[in-house]
């Protein structure tokens, strides 16, 4: 399929969906509107709500807050995951002692932590960051741990025979390997940083996209809920594109599925 055909078909799906939505929520079929506007709103209202947000500029503040929370959650969670991942991988005894607790905490659905974090860190930015950190940390931690553990013995022996000391092995062998594993999960961990921020906002805050959606829901403003969802999707897609660009730059050395012989 050529790029143009693909793009045309993709646009077609969106157009059909939007038209169906608009028609079914405004035009009665056999005397009955299939999608009552009260529950489903309609694309025109949703779109005008989005335009209004951007036109008046209210949305920017919320976007900035959510972005800031996501970035903080990602950076802190990743840093923690890298440190602990390295530590555990290089000290198997420490890893063995902590293993059941790591599994236990990771098994916990993070949403239940939100009230605790709100209590500890207040309703501001930090309770959302904390929630995102608990999500990001484990993904990065597991991947870095794997990455350090899975360095092929031959590559490691080669490093040793070339005269590397522990510090140089760390820099030239363990670190790049761990990083490649971490980057392979970058999309997931960035996505979870945003999830943490939005869920945290939804459960209690005064700003952010989650707050915006929660507010609209509180007054049965369905158009507002959908508008918030669309802005959120666009926001995540934009971030994801950024991640892809970073990934392409940093993982040039890795064979892609297509290039592998």
Partner 1 sequence: MAMTEPTAVALDGATVAFRLADGRVYIAVEQANLSVDHGEFVAIVGPTGCGKSTLLNVTAGLLKPAAGTARIFDRPLSGLNRDAGYLFQADALFPWKTAIDNVAIGLEIRGTPRTEALARAGRWLTSVGLGAFAGRYPHMLSGGQRKRVALAQVLIRDPKILLMDEPFGPLDAQTRQIMGNLLLELWTADRKAVLFVTHDLEEAIALADRVVIMSAGPSARIIGDWRITLPRPRDIAEIRMEKDFHALHREIWGVLKDEVMKGYVQSTQAGAA
Q: Say whether residue 158 binds partner 1 (CB under 8 A).
A: yes
Per-residue mark of binding to partner 1, 171-200 (x: CB under 8 A) = -xx--xx--x--------------------
Instruction: Report d(CA 134, CA 203) in Å as an integer.
Output: 16
Q: Which of 161, 219, 257, 258 binds partner 1 (CB under 8 A)?
A: 161
Count interface residues toward partner 1 (CB under 8 A).
24
Q: Say whether residue 39 binds partner 1 (CB under 8 A).
A: no
Token pair belonging to 240: 């994801």
Q: Say whether residue 5 binds partner 1 (CB under 8 A).
A: no
The least distance separating partner 1 from the CB of residue 186, rounded to whole angstroms, comes to: 16
Task: Give the residue with the Cβ less far from partner 1, 90 or 172.
Answer: 172
Query: Which long-range contacts (C-beta less than 8 Å, at least 24 apart) are formed by 44-51?
Result: 45/223, 46/223, 46/226, 46/227, 46/230, 47/227, 49/223, 49/224, 49/226, 49/227, 50/227, 50/230, 50/231
Q: What is the 3-state secondary structure (H, E, C) of 181-216?
A: HHHHCHHHHHHHHHHHHHHHHHHCCCCCHHHHHHHH
Instruction: Report d(CA 259, CA 261) in Å as an integer.
Output: 6
The least distance separating partner 1 from the CB of residue 246, rounded to whole angstroms, comes to: 16
* Strand-pair partners of 32: 29
**∠ Cα 70 198 71 (to 5°):** 5
Q: Which of 11, 12, 20, 155 binds partner 1 (CB under 8 A)?
A: 155
Task: Give the residue with the Cβ less far from partner 1, 17 or 158.
Answer: 158
Q: Whose CA is closest to 62, among 236, 231, 239, 204? A: 231
CB 194 within 8 Å of CB 236: yes
Taking CB under 8 A as the binding criterion, the range among 8-16, 53-61, 168-176, 203-211 that sits at the site for partner 1 is 168-176
Q: Say whether residue 148 binds partner 1 (CB under 8 A).
A: no
Footprint on residues 223-252 left by partner 1 (CB under 8 A): 252
Task: Give the residue with the Cβ less far from partner 1, 115 or 152.
Answer: 152
Taking CB under 8 A as the binding criterion, the range among 78-86, 134-142, 162-170, 192-200 that sits at the site for partner 1 is 162-170
* Residues at the contact surface with partner 1, assessed by CB under 8 A: 152, 154-155, 157-165, 168, 172-173, 176-177, 180, 252-255, 259-260
């Amino acid at each position: 399929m050529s790029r143009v055909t693909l793009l045309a078909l993709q646009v077609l799906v969106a157009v059909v969906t939007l038209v169906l939505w608009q028609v079914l929520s405004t035009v009665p079929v056999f005397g009955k509107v299939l999608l009552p506007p009260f529950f489903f709103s309609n694309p025109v209202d949703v779109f005008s709500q989005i335009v209004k947000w951007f036109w008046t500029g209210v949305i920017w503040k919320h976007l900035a807050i959510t972005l800031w929370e996501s970035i903080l959650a990602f950076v802190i969670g990743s840093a923690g995951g890298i440190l602990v991942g390295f530590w555990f991988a290089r000290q198997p005894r420490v890893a063995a002692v902590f293993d059941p607790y790591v599994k236990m905490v990771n098994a916990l659905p993070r949403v239940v932590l939100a009230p605790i974090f709100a209590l500890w860190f207040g309703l501001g930015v930090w309770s959302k960051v904390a929630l995102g950190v608990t999500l990001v940390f484990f993904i990065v931690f597991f991947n870095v741990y794997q990455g350090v553990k899975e360095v092929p013995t031959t590559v490691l022996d080669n490093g040793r025979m070339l005269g590397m000391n522990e510090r140089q092995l760390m820099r030239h062998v363990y670190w790049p390997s761990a990083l490649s594993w971490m980057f392979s999960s970058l999309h997931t961990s960035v996505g979870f940083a945003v999830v943490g921020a939005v869920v945290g906002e939804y459960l209690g805050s005064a700003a952010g996209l989650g707050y915006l959606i929660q507010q609209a829901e509180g007054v049965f403003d369905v158009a507002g809920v959908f508008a918030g969802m669309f802005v959120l999707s666009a926001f995540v897609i934009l971030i994801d594109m950024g991640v892809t660009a970073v990934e392409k730059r940093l993982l040039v050395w890795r064979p892609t599925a297509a290039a592998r012989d």
